[in-house]
Amino acid sequence: MKRIHPIISMLNDAAVVKSTGHILYMFNELDKYIENAVDYIYQGLIKGEKVLFVEEKDVINQIVNRLDEFELEDDYKTNFIYMSSHEFYLNEGELDVERAGNELTGLMRPLLDQGHAVRTWGAVPLPNHESTFDRVRTYECDCDVFISKERMTSVCAYNALTIPAFLQNELFKTHTHFMTDESFSISPLFDNGDHKPLSVHEVQRLQRLEKKFNNLKDVNHRLEYENNLVKLKKEAIEQSEQKLRMIINELPIPIIIRNKTGVIFSNNEAKEQFLLTNHHKEVLQFFENYDHQHSEGNLSEQPLLIDSIHYYVVYSIDLMYEDEQAVMHSFVDLSQEKENEKLLIRSEKMAIVGELAASIAHELRNPLTSVKGFFQMMKTTNEKMDLYYTIIDDELSRIEQIASELLSLAKPHIDNWKEHNAVRLIEEVKLLLTSQTNMNNIRILLETDSAELNITCDSHKIKQVFINLIKNAIDSMGNGGTIFLKIKELCSDIEIQVIDQGTGMPRELLERIGEAFYTTKEKGTGIGLMVCYQIIENHQGTIDVQSEVNLGTTFTITLPKTRVGLVES
């Protein structure tokens, strides 16, 4: 069943037919507005009436297209007069009611004088200019007088979504009927007495209301603009999040995002490696540990070991995810790198062992060859053996020395770390070697800028280092001289120098200092300095050596000063 639009019901109403109809149409929906307009125009045309339609051009085009569907004859079409509302009502962008009134009278008067029945439909634009509303009120009053006099039917259409309520109330007073998209009624406020010209007070009141309305309209426009910006930004953020989620989902490393309630996102790798395997328990335990430590110190990088096989470094960062505070964990699997590192260390150890074995074999073969040679000579000669016994004894002592130093190097270190005064330790070493220096016409001078400089160390190991260095200095000073021991405090370290006046070493020999079995001494093994380097390294210290031929050698050792809490740890 075809729906009857309210405009048809109104035109068929006995009260409207009997009198005139000045209809105020407040519309909300454009499609229903067009349906009512089409019915209004069509009913007038088939009755042979002249119809004046004033609207925006795009609405006029829609109306014309709809009327074409009725296949009206050309005689009917000539009765349809339409004009642009902007050209009809506005003058340079402002509402010109005087010109609009003259335009309306100029169009209608000839038709009425010729005895034609006329109906009109006009959509009055409301530009954002001062005094627009009182002009509309005046225009509608004049129109109502003209319509009543000529017994016409006229529809004045306004967009109910944009017209202010106070102006709508004023328009109720100048229209006989009121219509919406769905219904119609007699205007509750219509009064012929309101058609007199507005007083100055009424004009000022309308202008004040119009000014407030325009201010609110400006505010609404700004809010609408800002809302659109927010909407665009939100859409951009959502698109970025979707792209980011897609990228994260395809990353070859596990990514997990979670908030206080639990995991809210996990990429494909995370599901494969953790959530869909029996490893999820270790990951959940990691999260608990992270939350406990994160509240205390904002950790951003932590290790994670699973089944003693899989080693991860977990990078964590706080972020906003779907408008909630969250944390993103990225798991970088270093298992293969760790395995490669173990293989590399094992290879290096094997290489060192091979090199050490070759050196040991070389060092032991020399005295063994001597012993074997003199033993063969002893079997084939009748000479006195005292000289041979002495040589064999010296070579066997050399083998014993090499074996002892190797055992010292290889046996497990049981360090006894305590806080010690470095100055006192060096004084004890100096005292221990006094007899040896006296026999070689050598003096040891100790220089220090403080009587107490504390280090945390194994005192026996540190003494071993300086005994070895001072003995080497004594061996290099065949003509006597002075060994200087200088101790001073640096920013966070203690520096100890052993300075001799010996023969010194050329640059090419300095580069090999610290290598096993490398020595410049006739009866040395080279292991002593290697042990010194190892001890200082274990104490987080450094050794530096400077030497010039015929001038002497300087060993500079730095060791960390004792820090608060280091001894206890």
Beta pairing partners, 120: 52, 154
State the pLDDT confidence band at 369, using cuts at 50, 70 and 90: low
Q: Name the token pair of 413.
A: 């270190």
Domain boundaries, the chain: 6-198, 251-333, 337-410, 417-560
CATH of 251-333, one of 3.30.450.20, 3.40.50.720, 3.40.50.920, 3.20.190.10: 3.30.450.20
Supply angle C-alpha 520, 525, 526, rounded to 5: 65
pLDDT digits (tens, 9 = 90+) for 378-426: 666 666 666 666 766 766 776 766 666 556 555 545 567 899 999 999 9
Range 417-560: architecture per CATH = 2-Layer Sandwich (3.30)
The CATH number of the structural domain formed by 6-198 is: 3.40.50.300
The pLDDT of residue 456 is 92
Q: 3-class secondary structure for 500-513? A: CCCCCCCHHHHCCC
pLDDT digits (tens, 9 = 90+) for 554-567: 999 999 998 644 44
Asked whether the predicted pLDDT for residue 55 surpasses 80, the reply is: yes
The pLDDT of residue 519 is 56
Q: In this predicted model, which residue has the larger pLDDT, 298 or 469?
A: 469
Nearest to 121 by CA among 39, 176, 191: 39
pTM equals: 0.42
The pLDDT of residue 567 is 41
pLDDT digits (tens, 9 = 90+) for 93-151: 888 888 888 888 899 899 999 999 999 999 988 887 666 667 787 788 778 788 888 88
Cα 256 from Cα 434, distance rounded (Å): 68
Within 13 Å of residue 304, how many CA atoms lie on the same side as its CB? 27
Range 337-410: architecture per CATH = Orthogonal Bundle (1.10)
Q: Name the token pair of 54.
A: 């004033």
Cα 106 from Cα 83, distance rounded (Å): 14
pLDDT digits (tens, 9 = 90+) for 71-81: 888 777 789 99
3-state secondary structure of 528: helix
Cα 467 from Cα 434, distance rounded (Å): 11
Exposure of 478 by Cβ count < 10 A (0-12 exposed, 13-18 middle, 19+ buried)? Answer: exposed
pLDDT digits (tens, 9 = 90+) for 205-249: 666 766 776 777 778 888 888 899 999 888 888 888 788 778 888
- Return the beta strands (E) in 101-183 as ranges: 118-123, 153-159, 177-179
Within 13 Å of residue 157, how many CA atoms lie on the same side as its CB? 23
pLDDT digits (tens, 9 = 90+) for 498-535: 999 998 888 877 776 756 545 555 554 456 788 888 88
Question: Does residue 560 contact residue 455 with C-beta atoms inside 8 Å?
Answer: yes
What mean pLDDT comes out for the span 318-331? 84
CA 549, distance to chain mean position in Å, is 60
3-state secondary structure of 51: strand
Q: 3-class secondary structure for 243-265? A: HHHHHHHHCCCCEEEEECCEEEE
Question: What does the chain come to in residues?
Answer: 569
Nearest to 203 by CA among 131, 106, 136: 131
Question: Does residue 523 contact residue 504 with C-beta atoms inside 8 Å?
Answer: no
332-336, 402-406, 457-461: segment of lowest average pLDDT = 402-406
